[in-house]
Chain A
Amino acid sequence: MTELSQSAAVAPWCDRCGEAAATGAHTACAAARALEPPRYCAHCRRRMKVQVLPVGWSALCVEHGATEG
């Protein structure tokens, strides 16, 4: 699990769908994230610039910086 998705547990936004983390269980989002990088910053809900690489990915939020997985 990445640093961002770990912190997403206490962050206000779901990093997959961009909706409020407290609204619903986001079970489908959590399952999907096994095969997807995050798309939204879990801290501010901004859409991130995401580059998927053959091994790993990187995501950049203009406010909260870069994370990798």
Chain B
Amino acid sequence: MPEILDRARTQVLENGVGLDEADILAVLNLPDEHLPAALQLAHEVRMRWCGPEVEVEGIVSLKTGGCPEDCHFCSQSGLFTSPVRSVWLDIPNLVEAARQTAKTGATEFCIVAAVRGPDARLMKQMREGVAAIKAEVDIQVAASLGMLNQEQVDELVEMGVHRYNHNLETCRSYFPNVVTTHSFEERWETLRMVRESGMEVCCGGILGLGETLEQRAEFAAQLAELDPHEVPLNFLNPRPGTPLGDRPVVEGKDALRAIAAFRLAMPRTILRYAGGRELTLGDLGTRDGLLGGINAVIVGNYLTTLGRPANADLELLDDLKMPVKALSATL
């Protein structure tokens, strides 16, 4: 057993203290023969500090495409030659999307918009949409609308949005290679306001953007410092027309090492499978990740790409004897 895993067993599993950056890097550098042990330990940590329940979420794009920002992985930027066109979802279809999500047993429904930050039109759409969902569907509503000002944070709280997603995407040192139209610090400031408002903080990112393993460890450590309620973990799905469109997908074993490392860095967080897992991990790898530290999934489709059918994930959770977290447990 590598020394780092022995130490993590005491520090993380027994004492609930996450690994620091150097130790996260040691996990990311573990040779393949030690990967099963790392995943097993990460699974034990998840079971000890989070329990067996899996939080299920659905997401939908309220405003797609035409974004003025240049996040190099994103097909929704209006600055690239991506084939994604701008489109708005109307309120009846938004409510229907929430209803479809609730039918899967999901407790979370996240409304996402491709914007730098919300304008008056988007906030109005949110007000009406959230109210309509709350009137008709039994599900928690989260939002992801880019960078916020204090007034907008307060307004989302008033609407009853209980969790706000704003991904840092990658570590501070690599961020300027991925986004040039705003800074890591601007994102951090939004996250600070969200936390102070009482909304739950959801913050993760994308692996495979060209960051080194050292930068991947830096990212996990910076997320641990933020201490978010939830960390969505995406693996790059290279999108045509974007600056990262020709990058290779993350190797499955590297993705699993990252899952274990992020869990050992953040023993109590909700660590969610997000986009790209279908390409990077496939069915078998998805199972391995759920037995290696993941305790939440996005089911169904993503914002501009498609996911596995929700039933496939729910059957897998049933096979693994991992109960879907009930709505009553989230209130």
Which residues of A come within 8 Å of B, CB atoms? 17-18, 34-37, 39-40, 47-57
Q: A55 to B60, alpha carbons, bound, how many Å?
A: 10
Q: A35-B279, A36-B306 are in contact. Are A54 and B60 (CB under 8 A)?
A: yes
**Of all chain B residues, which has the CB nearest A60?**
B87
Of B93-101, B161-169, B285-293, which stretch is located at the interface?
B93-101
> Measured between C-beta atoms, what is the minimum distance from A16 to chain B in Å?
8
**Shortest Cβ distance from residue A26 to the other chain B in the assembled complex, whole angstroms:** 13
Task: Please indicate the chain A residues that have their CB under 8 angstroms from the CB of B58 in the complex.
Answer: 54
A15–B85 CA distance with the chains assembled, in angstroms: 14
Q: When chains A and B are docked, how far (Å) is the Cα of A18 from the Cα of B85?
A: 14
Which residues of the other chain, A, contact B138 by a CB distance below 8 angstroms? Answer: none
| A53→B84 CA distance, assembly (Å) | 15
Q: Do the beta carbons of B64 and A17 come within 8 Å of each other?
A: no
Within B76-124, which residues are at the interface with A (CB < 8 Å)? 83-87, 89, 93, 96-97, 100-101, 104
**Which residues of A sit under 8 angstroms from B299, Cβ to Cβ?**
54
Contact residue among B59, B89, B101, B305 (Cβ-Cβ distance under 8 Å from A35): B305
How many chain B residues touch the partner (CB < 8 A)?
A: 31
* Nearest-CB residue, chain B, relative to A49: B87
Task: Give which listed residue, A36, A48, A53, A56, contacts B85 with CB less than 8 A.
Answer: A48
Q: Determine if B174 is an interface residue (Cβ-Cβ < 8 Å).
A: no
B49 nearest CB across to chain A (Å): 29
Query: Across the two chains, which residue of chain B brings its CB closest to A34?
Result: B306
Chain A: minimal CB distance from B64 (Å): 7
**Contact A47 to B93, CB < 8 A, known contacts A17-B240, A54-B301, A55-B301:** no
Looking at B304, B307, B310, which has the most chain A CB atoms within 10 Å of its CB? B304
How far apart sit A35 and B300, CA to CA, in the bound complex (Å)? 11
B137 to chain A, nearest CB (A): 12
Interfacial chain B residues near A39, Cβ < 8 Å: 83-84
- Chain B neighbourhood of A35, CB < 8 A: 237, 278-279, 305-307
- Tell me how far the C-beta of A18 lies from the nearest C-beta in chain B, rounded to whole angstroms: 7
Contacting pair A51 B87 (CB below 8 A): yes
Known: A35-B278, A47-B85. A54 touches B59 (CB 8 A): yes
B61 within 8 A of A: yes
Measured in the bound complex, the distance between the Cα atoms of B97 and A39 in whole Å is 21
User: B306 contacts A52, CB within 8 Å?
Assistant: yes
Q: How far is the CB of A2 from chain B (nearest CB, A)?
A: 12
CA distance A4 to B303 in the complex (A): 21
The residue in A36, A52, A57 that gathers the most chain B C-beta atoms within 10 A of its C-beta is A52
B84 to chain A, nearest CB (A): 7
For A34, list chain B residues within 8 Å (CB): 306
Cα–Cα, bound, A40→B241 (Å): 14
> Which B residue sits closest to A38, measured CB to CB?
B83
